[in-house]
Structure 1
Amino acid sequence: MTKGAKKWFSGMLTLLLFSSLLAACGGSGSSDSAGSAGTSDSGGTSGSKSSGKKVEVTMITWESKEMNDKIMAAMKQFEQENPDITVKLIPTPLDNYGVKVNGMLTAKKAPDIFMTGNDMLLDNASKGLLYDWTSQAEQDKEFMDGFYKGVVDSWHYDGKLVGLPGLLNTYGIFYNKKAFQDAGLTEPKIGWTYNDLFTAMEKLSSKQGGVQQFGYYAPLDPFYLSLYSVSSGAAPFTDSILNPTKVEISDKFVEGVEKYKTAIANGYMNPPTFDLTNVMSSFKQGKVPMTLQGQWVADDLIRTAPKDLQWGFVPMPVVNTQSEIYDAVGWCSPTTVKNPEAVWKVLKFLDSKMYEEVLPQTPVAPAAYQASSSAYFEALKTAGHADVGEGIDHILKSPDTQPVRFLSSWAGKANPFIEASWKNVLMGKAPISELNTMADKINKVISEAK
């Protein structure tokens, strides 16, 4: 259901590039054509029974037809509760989503609501393309207070609320319970430490018959190393999720890098050049002891993993205090929305009641609206994996969160410096001081973007 669910483990840069295709939201026009987006000119105050006129709210998603059918089935309840508002879905294939949305924006025929990633939301907000929902949010404080703490912060731009988060992507470690038992290791639990992680990956690795078996399979980037630094009480890699003013390589950040370097050199975990594309297929076969993945993997494992595969999930480890990574996908609207009150009602329903109906059928991600996420957790519990829900809820309630990537428009200029330095440092092909050179170049990009 989330935009990264099928792409993430081809690498974090792939996710960034993929999310850039999902161009965010734009203007709403009026149209009577089934093939065009827009708000009906029949207008009037949204949901106003005195007007006697129907208001049509159009929306678009990047979901599959099957998922869209479930979303629209849930929206029938909304239409029953709001007889003056109809909701119309405009089908669009995922592989053409960004192109079509950009075309709609250019022609000023974009729908009233459509899906967006957090970074694309901010990019389009910077261009003045998104509707400002601040007034509605201020009048609807009870609803706005229902989101997980902090998740709405990055859906603001220049002090304006330009969208609402819908689903949250969390990241943790899936592990093979039998592999831990066979190695004489205690299963990881919430609050386990980085020392536990590095000890486990060492004992779970092997090289039998000349075949290298890593104990831990994961992509690594500065954002994940930031968790180690912050958990140690030091500075994060970047000082803000929303508007970073600098990146920093702390002593504890270097300490974490050195630990991972040693693990890579000793064959305890995969090098950064290792192809992780098929890691989950191998995990299902019982060949992967631990792997860093997004929570959406749980849904696939519940549905398709062999029945005898014993697996679990645990949040990222800690040094001293908890620090986690999560990001969101959600909804936004164009500046030219003609019936904002009606659209706001639909947005609220999408974030709450719709997810309560859909997530039990497809438990791929927790809802950003906390009360609605209970349906997701209950579905995991029913499937026999309450531990996944407990771990994800722990992540979402973390006192500290770090970004999974740069969200700012200058990210495309900064990321090549990470690509040029990061892998070489982890593989011992460049000195650790190269990290400071990398940081200096990124900070120059940030400075020039101000």
Structure 2
Amino acid sequence: MKKEYIDFLPTIYMMDFYKKVAKNKNKNKNNIRVDKLARYFDQFKKIFFIKLKLRKIDAIIFNDESDRRLIEGKYISASTDFIEKFYKTITFEMRTGNRISANDTYTKSIISEQSLLFFSKVLRKTCHVFFIRKFNLILNDFYEQKCVVDLSEDEIINKAKDHFYQFYVYKLMLKILSPKEVFINNAYFRYPLIQACNILNIRVVEVQHGMITESHPGYFPSIKYNSSSILDGIFLYSEHTAKLLEKSKTFMKTDKIVVGNYLMDKLPKIYNEKKWPNSFCVSLQYTCDLDLIDRLKLYFDAHPNFYCYLIPRGRGEDFYNDLVLPSNMKFVFDKTIYEMMSYCEYHITSYSTCCYEASAFGCFNILISLPGDFNQHTYFINEALSKSGENYLYLTENCDDEDLINRYVKEEKILIKGYFYKENYLDNLSDYFRG
């Protein structure tokens, strides 16, 4: 039986982790979209309009706009959009600076999730005096759990208040729409929603959207959560990930449903290109991109007949304006990493999970360990790749890159496909909903 109370612990634990990540992030203005006040009210009214139109809503989806990819003329969220083939759905989407029009998306019933967060802030500003006793009781529960975080008391209280009022707005929305199931992308950012679902006995399922390793605190926290923060199920790319999550105290009792990865079924058929000779594409992460570029410059400067294409993540073009690169290294802003993996013979990264997907595009991996906190991600990715049977190259922090890369590109190599993603995603999804 699930406990019926709000718990701030997972939200504050994840805030502490991402505060450390943010220290390395681009200091330019981020691309989060701030809607005007009138737009928030329009979005909130849309909830009631869709409820009247559909009458019955089977499922609510919570997604991030940044998850969408342009595929055959439509922006598709590969992790969540195809659920509407089986259920009547409404999607709440965390909007970003991409400003994708609803006319250009695969799914049409989309509401800005920022509208819900806006109303939680209104509730916090206007009604806190009525809730202060209950809030303080829950905050005391958090302090009694003795979670060690590198946050000030003001930061903890501010985040706890956000969680508290978001919980009540999510709970109201769930009561209005009455879904039988809720699907969440990025569940570790939405604990108030998970707790609202659990309290209302609504089944809540996460959909895998990216990296799951033992170093990710969203999946392998160092603390134990209470049952109100535990998901009922999670859609996964592969049996490998399902077995990995058996080790997680947060996911031990969660149903692990292996459905595969739509992108890995679809994109290799679209981007079926002839390989460019001596070509390397690089998945950059904003936490370590400059360190990785500096290391690669040494190699490619010495090898002008090899070509390196840098695909950024989490930073705009302006950030890199002052970088000086060899003529055979360049940034690519107009193509996705998937397109570039279809063109290139090799894929380089420090810890992007694109290395799990490279083989689907006929691309061999070079994994590079860098100094700093995030080399633990590289460690676990290396461990996973080593078990897959894939022919890849792992460069440690102090190795001779030039000698090892030169030998690797001359080796005979075999591609191993399917270890990190189950094939036939749509069939597997159908089996879940119709089974």
Give your verdict on TM over 0.5. Answer: no
Q: Which has the higher contact order (CA 8 A, sep 6+)?
A: 1
TM-score under structure 2 normalisation? 0.30
TM-score under structure 1 normalisation? 0.29
